């Protein structure tokens, strides 16, 4: 009996290669999204790009939804899913698209990835998850890192504060969306939450349809290709592979992989777009990510029990 128990524990502790591969694949897609937004933003205005990306995602996820035929969630869940979708996939995307017309992809990714600290604060306020000491210490470290990024960016780009303010809006929208989404995931399958959220965000972005209609004929094939990529890979496929990985590993372990997204964005932005954030911004980004990690890191006594949905 004791040997069987030991084998069971060893099996649970063994890393899941498929989950790790799916998580790394997702983070790579999400990091590349910052570069895609920067590239497609040359031809499309922020709202048009958000709508075009969502339309592509609707087609892909809609086809899967027809095959799955999941039951319609309860009305209360539908409302929460709609709020999550509008905040994350409409407000966040549009604000980020607008910000990346001003700041480079690497800098945008460094600032956006401070979001987990904001999520922790909001979860403490509205989900009764408390305010551990690590949260305050990590938030202070992340704030200093963000200040360095902001200072470095304003020294090298005119009007950068507008871009930073838009990124702050994006982070707040994304963080609030996660807090709204979390309770629903306990009752509704992740795919269905994603699909309904995408549909709600698409409806919210329909006022941008006239501008998309006007801009599409003048857009280069490269910009259109990047837009299709954004809708198909970082959104539709990225969320699917993330859900797969989340179902096979601990949320805390998987969440640490998101800290690699800025690295992907900086490297791809450098190679694909020829953009390199200022050294001080990179140092600030590293400091901010340390703060995020520290704020979100569970105490040693709790890490063994961390196995909850994202």
Q: Which pLDDT tens digits describe the chain residue by residue (310 residues)? A: 444 444 444 444 455 788 778 888 988 898 899 899 999 999 999 999 999 999 999 999 999 999 999 999 999 999 999 999 999 899 999 999 999 998 888 778 777 877 666 767 777 777 676 767 776 777 677 777 767 776 776 666 667 788 889 999 998 998 888 788 878 878 888 889 889 999 999 999 999 999 999 999 999 999 999 999 999 999 888 877 876 776 666 554 555 566 677 777 777 887 887 777 777 777 877 877 787 677 656 554 454 444 443 3
For residue 159, is it left (φ>0), alpha (ψ between -120 and 50) or beta? Answer: left
Cα distance between residue 199 and residue 307, in whole Å: 30
Using CB atoms within 10 Å of the CB of residue 98, give its burial: 0 to 12 exposed, 13 to 18 middle, 19+ buried.
buried
DSSP state of 115: H
Cα distance between residue 255 and residue 248, in whole Å: 13
**Secondary element (H or E) of residue 262:** helix 261-268
Locate 197 and state its tokens: 């959220």
């Amino acid at each position: 009996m004791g040997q069987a128990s030991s084998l069971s524990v060893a099996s649970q502790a063994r890393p899941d290669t498929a989950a790790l591969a799916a998580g790394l694949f997702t983070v790579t897609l999400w990091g590349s999204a910052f570069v895609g937004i920067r590239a497609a933003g040359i031809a499309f205005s922020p709202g048009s790009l958000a709508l075009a990306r969502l339309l592509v995602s609707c087609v892909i996820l809609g086809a899967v939804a027809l095959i799955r035929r999941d039951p319609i969630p309860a009305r209360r869940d539908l409302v929460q899913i709609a709020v999550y979708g509008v905040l994350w996939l409409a407000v966040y995307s549009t604000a980020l698209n607008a910000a990346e017309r001003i700041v480079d992809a690497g800098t945008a990714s460094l600032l956006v990835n401070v979001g987990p600290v904001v999520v922790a604060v909001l979860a403490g306020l509205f989900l009764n998850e408390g305010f551990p000491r690590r949260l305050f210490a990590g938030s202070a470290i992340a704030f200093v890192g963000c200040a360095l990024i902001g200072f470095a960016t304003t020294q090298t780009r005119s009007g950068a504060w507008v871009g930073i303010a838009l990124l702050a809006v994006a982070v707040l929208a994304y963080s609030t969306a996660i807090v709204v989404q979390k309770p629903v995931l306990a009752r509704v399958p992740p795919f269905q939450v994603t699909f309904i959220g995408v549909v709600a965000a698409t409806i919210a972005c329909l006022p941008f349809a006239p501008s998309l209609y006007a801009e599409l004929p003048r857009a280069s094939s490269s910009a259109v290709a990047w837009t299709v990529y954004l809708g198909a890979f970082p959104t539709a496929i990225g969320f699917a592979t993330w859900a797969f990985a989340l179902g096979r590993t601990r949320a805390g372990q998987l969440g640490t992989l998101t800290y690699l997204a800025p690295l992907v964005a900086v490297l791809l932005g450098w190679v694909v777009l020829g953009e390199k954030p200022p050294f001080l911004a990179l140092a600030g980004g590293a400091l901010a990510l340390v703060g995020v990690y520290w704020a979100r890191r569970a105490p040693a006594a709790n890490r063994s029990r961390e196995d909850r949905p994202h």
